[in-house]
Structure 1
Amino acid sequence: MKKHILLFLTLIAVGCKDDGTTPEIPQRVTLTLIDAAVKETYLHIAASNPASNEALALLRNGTTVMTFAAVADTNIADTALTQTTTYQYSATLQTTSATTGKSNAISAQTLAPTSHDWHFTTDSLGEVSSTLYDVAIVNDTLAYAVGEMYLRDLTGQVDPILYNLAIWNGSQWRIQRVPVPLCPNSTGFFPLRTIFAFAWNDIWLSGGGEMIHWDGLTFRGDCSMNPLIQGAITKIWGTSSAGLYAVGGGGTIIHYNGSTWQRVESGTTVNLLDVWGAPDGSMVWACGWEDFQPTVLLRGSGSTWEKRYEDPYPFVLRRDSLSGIISSVWTPASNRVFAATYFGVYSCAADTRGYGKRSTFGNPYLPGFPFRIRGSGVNDYSIIGDYGMVAHFNGVTWKYFAELYRDNIHLNSVSQRANLVIAVGELYHPIYSRGLVIRGSR
């Protein structure tokens, strides 16, 4: 009997012996790189069925740099990094006593600052009450500007029939007249207010109450959206001619799917001044303001839009949140938006309700009221405005080109592509205002 008991205990001891292996940690976390800047990386973390007692930890080069309560889906920014450096990232799910999940490993390389070495040339277009409202660059030898330009005829008198389109061919400007629909059933030569170009043969323009499409052969006017708008169209943006947005007065947002226009409920009656979206169209932003009304920041996609921020008193500087009149928006990616106000440029996460990181070269105000911000990347964008204000951000620092300052220069818009930037507006005079182009290259 004793032998049987001894054998039984021996078998139990052998069966319970530790084999020296560690249980496999399941992959419950997916890590994705959204974007990288000069000193930051932006990551998306998705966790499978996180429990209330679990935390997410982000590891950079094997060292934990961030820990927070586990959520199923979130975006995070890793900051204070070194430029042009490659980092390895992973993430884990943890309880107080164990690691309960792991992620895939990814790498991310930070960017280098771009050059501030811009060299500017100034051109004037038109005579007597001429001005340019918007500009679009297609490539380094093709750009378009729209507005109203008047020339003198052979007798020296001002021709009352205006020109509304200027075309840059890489060496000089040529101006022409584009017929504008006078909805519902007439046309004439009227000022053009905004332009957006996908290619040389795919361009959209508007004078405020209609849309005009250039297909490489013909300018085709369209009045079908006219009953849908509450005020004049101010800006156009899209990913293609089958995914186009326009904003305007009275809170107007309209969307074009390639065949029909649809009115979108914006949730505001404020005049909308600008619209821009992520390259994939997943996130689109609009902003606006008018006298005695709040300034607003809207976010949407397709027919679904919402008000993300509203400030009825936009005259107080708040360094940790949006402050001032939001006059322009621009974004290079789906995870953030840059908003321009007279206090500077605010970098806001896509889920912002007003929080934003302020970047500025003013103290506290910019040298001129900003009317447009556009760029080629997070480390390469420009802002323009009153008094000939032109400034460039390279991912780390601002460069304000004070040599362009003049108290009678009003810049309305800017376009930047690679090493070409073009700002347009007017050289103001009570009678002899001229359309103005400031063209920069590097």
Structure 2
Amino acid sequence: MRSITILSIGVLFVFYQFFTGNSSVADEWSLEEQTLKYEWGLEKQTQKNEWGLEEQITKHDKSDSIILHYDGKTWGCIYNGYSVWLNNIYGFSDNDIFAVGEHGVILHFDGKSWIKQESQVTSRLNKIWGSSHNNIYISGDYGTIIHYNGKEWKRYKMRTSNWFSNIWGFDEKYIFIVGALGEILHYDGKTWKEQNSGTINWLYGIGGNSKNNIYAVGDYGTILHYDGREWKISALNTNKRLTSVCVTDSNNVFVAGADGLILHYDGINWIRQRSGTNNWLRRIWGINNNTIFAVGDHGTILHYDGTKWNKQKSSTNYLLLGIWGNKKDNVYVVGIKSDSYYDHLLDVSSRKSGN
């Protein structure tokens, strides 16, 4: 499996070199007009594939993916996916939630059932963000960016085959994507343009609370800050991979990463917080300074109450990769069985974490 992981890195790097060799033609991209052929190998959307909550099983140790729900007291499994590997989840209300993953899979929850949508792509989808139900973006492998207008998904025609790990936006005309080798793209409502990140380290997380207070994090303790004009690197005393960032305000920035690492920025200093776990943390998300969650390996779910981090019982050992909620007692998490399919590419350098 290690060799497969290394091979994956090599393939991505070759594609990157091939498609970005001429930087003068790789700074703008636009939306494809043509309709792409639907190539996902499962049933067609016309069959209205539905997974109703009434059909879910209680035990999920044999399913490839799960979706957990938190009601403010306990976590429970509400979906089991077979031959479906989910990486991320995002929504707008209790009856309007999207989950994305491997082979271009997109599931939509309407309050009753999870329904598969036609994504127009077969590559893995890593992260989803939207300003409304009619304006949603997904980033993925091999330069994949797709957009949803409330009716259908369309793919942007990109001049890069780079790996896009994460996407975040302030509004529909201010969106960022980060990925392999320090790549950062910015969308102004018309075109995607490449920005100078100042690093070649892989970036895995991005988030902010305004147009001039945005953070991106990645390999070897990389933290970048965007002030609305340029990206600057913050110096940290760590070499660990940083996977995710949550910005509640300018004086409260939380970063999660390898080996249970959680960092907090108070507007002046970065301070390591006690997480109580050595498990890798894959995503950190919050509503306010007193309601923040971090999820990761071996079913790890942590909750921050404004004072300290506490472990919560997930009743699973799955690799938890994505989290979203609209209030403190309505939170969703997606995860995959770590040995169900492959060594997840998000772990491409899991074994090279440092101090």
Matched-pair contact (CA < 8 Å) for 1:389–1:404: no
1:265 alignment partner in structure 2: 196
User: Shift in Å at residue 270 of structure 1?
Assistant: 0.5
Is 2:269 aligned against 1:393? Answer: no
Q: Percent identity?
A: 25
1:141 alignment partner in structure 2: 95
Question: What CA distance in whole angstroms lies between the structure 1 residues aligned with 2:313 and 2:170?
Answer: 35
2:288 alignment partner in structure 1: 377
Question: What CA distance in whole angstroms lies between the structure 1 residues aligned with 2:71 and 2:129?
Answer: 26
Is 2:285 aligned against 1:359? Answer: no
Question: What CA distance in whole angstroms lies between the structure 1 residues aligned with 2:89 and 2:221?
Answer: 25
Question: What CA distance in whole angstroms lies between the structure 2 residues aligned with 1:271 and 1:127?
Answer: 30
Structure with max Cα Rg: 1
Matched-pair contact (CA < 8 Å) for 1:375–1:417: no
Counting only pairs closer than 5 Å after superposition, residues 29-428 of structure 1 correspond to structure 2 as: 117-128=72-83, 130-148=84-102, 162=103, 164-180=105-121, 189-208=122-141, 209-224=143-158, 226-227=159-160, 231-278=162-209, 280-289=210-219, 294-311=220-237, 314=239, 324-341=240-257, 342-350=259-267, 352=268, 355-362=269-276, 366-406=277-317, 409-418=318-327, 419-428=329-338
Q: TM-score, normalised by structure 2?
A: 0.70
Note closer, same or farther for the CA distance 1:373–1:430 as it changes in structure 2 (3 Å cut): closer
Q: Deviation string for 1:283-323 (max 9, x for gaps)?
A: 0000001xxxx220000144510101255x53xxxxxxxxx
1:14 alignment partner in structure 2: none
User: Shift in Å at residue 330 of structure 1?
Assistant: 0.8
Question: What CA distance in whole angstroms lies between the structure 2 residues aligned with 1:175 and 1:423?
Answer: 18
Question: What CA distance in whole angstroms lies between the structure 2 residues aligned with 1:172 and 1:432?
Answer: 27
**1:219 partner letter:** W
User: Shift in Å at residue 211 of structure 1?
Assistant: 1.6
User: Shift in Å at residue 336 of structure 1?
Assistant: 3.3
The runs of 5 or more residues in structure 1 that have no matched partner are: 1-114, 149-161, 181-188, 315-323, 434-442
Note closer, same or farther for the CA distance 1:271–1:309 as it changes in structure 2 (3 Å cut): same
User: Shift in Å at residue 405 of structure 1?
Assistant: 4.3
The alignment partner of 1:387 has SS state of helix
The alignment partner of 1:217 has SS state of coil
**2:336 partner letter:** E
Q: Deviation string for 1:42-91 (max 9, x for gaps)?
A: xxxxxxxxxxxxxxxxxxxxxxxxxxxxxxxxxxxxxxxxxxxxxxxxxx
Matched-pair contact (CA < 8 Å) for 1:390–1:401: yes
The runs of 5 or more residues in structure 2 that have no matched partner are: 1-69, 344-355
User: Shift in Å at residue 367 of structure 1?
Assistant: 4.7
Question: What CA distance in whole angstroms lies between the structure 2 residues aligned with 1:432 and 1:127?
Answer: 14
Structure possessing the higher relative contact order (Cα contacts under 8 Å, 6 or more residues apart) = 2
Of Structure 1 and Structure 2, which has the larger fraction of its residues in helix?
A: 2
Note closer, same or farther for the CA distance 1:205–1:116 as it changes in structure 2 (3 Å cut): closer
Q: TM-score, normalised by structure 1?
A: 0.57
Q: Give me the CA root mean square deviation.
A: 2.4
**2:216 partner letter:** A
Greater mean alpha carbon deviation, residues 370-379 or residues 397-406:
397-406
User: Shift in Å at residue 397 of structure 1?
Assistant: 3.5
Question: What CA distance in whole angstroms lies between the structure 2 residues aligned with 1:331 and 1:347?
Answer: 10
Question: What CA distance in whole angstroms lies between the structure 2 residues aligned with 1:392 and 1:132?
Answer: 22
Q: Deviation string for 1:374-432 (max 9, x for gaps)?
A: 011111110000000011112234331235242xx111121132132111120234459
Question: What CA distance in whole angstroms lies between the structure 1 residues aligned with 2:236 and 2:198?
Answer: 11
User: Shift in Å at residue 339 of structure 1?
Assistant: 1.1
